[in-house]
Structure 1
């Protein structure tokens, strides 16, 4: 397998301890990926990597482009900031080493061509005289039908013999009743038996083995190294040709892979876990059944309820949008059958979000926290300064701002679970 020239690594590769030196010449990652690794064994593996791991941060302009594409595909809510940075770094390296002529800024819509089982002329002809539509039956149904036909024919033959004693029995037997043995009736016709019956009786077992192979063995239907790829294509298996790729990203996150493929970037498979088709998602309200393409919405723009669910969409042959609802994931009543407590006041209140335009506290940093870091000092370095003092203890630092509503709702659910209210 040819190696990748530049491989961008996600967290899953470090968790699985993949030996990336066997797959790529240069490995890259973002600082957020290293921050997600907290297991002691995984941290020890990072300290003794047998290859050079380059840590880079993507360009903010490229990150903005990736965010715009993720919102259009509907995967923005499923991606974290680290995932978006991984995609942006892949986009940036692809632009530097390959070019951006083949990259897309708009997602490619999924097209579903629905074909009828029968032509339009033959639709509804099952009940018309002169039309016969055979039903598809399995081998068990064929055997059962054959047994019934044999038993019925033998029963009718016995009745005719009982009622017609004076008439001599006919010497000619129909072809359907020649073989009434149930054992032979249950046996299926074997194509090998037909071949043996059609063989020349003059042939003997003592013939040369080479002649036997030339006469009886046929290469049609056998899987050989020359046609294995074509057989896999006919079976619908996804084949990855071993072609050298300059830039690729290795990940197991399906939402991340979907955005990468929508843009036109290469995805490296980790243990064969790679998506086969790209999808576009929208939000659908299961209360009023209205849809919205804005993936950042939390509340329905029509009815205002928090009843939005992500669904996949595609286009049919006429360009009409088709919504694919996943019925295997039923709707849940979690956090909907509980009483709403009285809202708390003050700056540090963590009240539940019940509607979209609900006023939220700004959670600004306290004056004491601002005084700890002097940006104009001589020892201060912008970015990752070893002398910077970060506020991680105050309540305003622990609470999230009002910009990320889903993160705020997650914190609220965590606080209630910590209090012991699990209803």
Structure 2
């Protein structure tokens, strides 16, 4: 007689299934170029693309320990590449045409140039735009609405001059019974929708994943198939978004920092009312005064001329600025350490100030290339102390350019600083 087996019968163990509440989001792009803001704000960029790219200068801006730790813990590997000269030149030319060149740093230019270079390497059939399309600005956006103003309705008509836009009101359509009935039906439908939304309840931490999964599935079913772009760029800089959108590169943002519409920018002089497209200028090209402001412009469909768009900043721009007018300007002092005020464009030609400015620009570019760790000649330095990590000093041992991350530029007057404000530091207690 066979003895009964003491071994327990084998039971099939069920395979572990992924939780149903887990939400999987599809990638928006194959390659994603990251700006410094996306890394500093601790964004999960791996949820948007598989391949992540950035530039060496952007990587050098990440000095926060928490941001560097977040960057090291990303599942996707961050690839560091430098853009080529052709892509850099195309981005600079396009930024000059949109009017954003004067408000973009070297790091912003390199990030956009890297996105353009990766777009060209991807082999897309659709080519990027070489110049901003003027056709989209011909109707002018503000042509069918009144210019913004805080003044009453009657005073607005009196205050409008030749530089104002033509604010022709659109004629209203006659109201019929059918249109009234349609409006009533729309209001009733909106009320029903509001009741349905109220019945749904609040979205809490417990049902957030369920709502996210349902909304994501309904969006993919109702709409068309999600298109994955070849190259995208993630940045919260409005100027970067404005240039990239008009070139045709997909733009991603975070925290709601996204522009609503693309614009063309120009400089308007409030003294002589001259409009120039070169936004890198500090003084007016006609009168030479420091009275230029950055304003959006569009091409008029009738006159085919650039027309300034009125905005909320118009009253602030046209009003007189009294900052720094309490005390008189001190007399200029000569010497090596002198820093005279520049109040007009023709003062740059006095005492060789233009030559000194060009010398500082050339020196800054030389130091920037010297301190680039990814340069081709940085590995062949005979002395390691003279490499990219060395601190450039002058004959006195001081820093050669101070903060080498910012390029030298002409500053009109006192700049953003208020000379009437006391700059001395208050000491604790009385002096002994």
The TM-score normalised by the length of structure 1 is: 0.61
**1:26-52 alpha-carbon deviations (Å, 9 max, x no partner):** 000112222223333223323333321
- Helix, strand or coil at the partner of 2:311: coil
- Residue 104 of structure 2 corresponds to residue 79 of structure 1: yes
Stretches of structure 2 that go unaligned for 5 or more consecutive residues are 1-24, 145-167, 176-182, 198-214, 372-376, 426-432
Match of 1:348 among 317, 337, 359: 337
Structure number with greater CO (CA < 8 Å, separation at least 6) is: 1
Q: Per-residue deviation at 1:333?
A: 3.5
**Native 8 Å contact 1:351 1:412 kept in 2:** no
Structure-2 separation of matches of 1:401 and 1:376 = 19
Q: How does 1:85-104 map to 2 (within 5 A)?
A: 85-99=110-124, 102-104=127-129
Match of 1:420 among 393, 406, 423: 423
**Native 8 Å contact 1:299 1:355 kept in 2:** yes
Structure-2 separation of matches of 1:74 and 1:249 = 20
Q: How does 1:7-406 map to 2 (within 5 A)?
A: 7-99=32-124, 102-109=127-134, 110-112=137-139, 114=143, 117=169, 242-318=226-302, 319-328=304-313, 330-331=316-317, 332-335=321-324, 338-357=327-346, 358=348, 359-360=352-353, 361=356, 362=359, 379-380=381-382, 385=387, 388-391=390-393, 394=398, 396-398=400-402, 404-406=408-410
**1:280-305 alpha-carbon deviations (Å, 9 max, x no partner):** 00100011111111111111111111
Q: Per-residue deviation at 1:313?
A: 0.8
In the comparison of the two structures, how many residue pairs are matched?
311
**Native 8 Å contact 2:341 2:412 kept in 1:** yes
Larger radius of gyration: 1
Structure-1 separation of matches of 2:310 and 2:343 = 26
- Helix, strand or coil at the partner of 1:341: coil
Structure-2 separation of matches of 1:35 and 1:345 = 38
Q: Per-residue deviation at 1:191?
A: 6.9
- Helix, strand or coil at the partner of 1:405: coil
**Native 8 Å contact 1:72 1:295 kept in 2:** no
The TM-score normalised by the length of structure 2 is: 0.60
Structure-2 separation of matches of 1:377 and 1:268 = 36
More moved, 316-325 vs 394-403: 394-403
**1:303-358 alpha-carbon deviations (Å, 9 max, x no partner):** 11100001101123323432113224613443455532222323332222222241
**1:163-201 alpha-carbon deviations (Å, 9 max, x no partner):** xxxxxxxxxxxxxxxxxxxxxxxxxxx979xx9xxxxxx
Q: 1:17 to 1:99 in 2, by over 3 A?
A: same
Q: 1:378 to 1:112 in 2, by over 3 A?
A: closer
Structure-2 separation of matches of 1:381 and 1:32 = 24
**Native 8 Å contact 1:58 1:88 kept in 2:** yes
**1:43-90 alpha-carbon deviations (Å, 9 max, x no partner):** 332333332111111112321221111111111122111111111101
Aligned twin of 1:187: none
Structure-1 separation of matches of 2:224 and 2:40 = 24
Structure-2 separation of matches of 1:240 and 1:291 = 44
After the TM superposition, which segments of 4 or more aligned residues of structure 1 sit over 6 Å from their partners?
Answer: 375-378, 399-403, 414-419
**Native 8 Å contact 1:380 1:388 kept in 2:** no
**Native 8 Å contact 1:348 1:395 kept in 2:** no
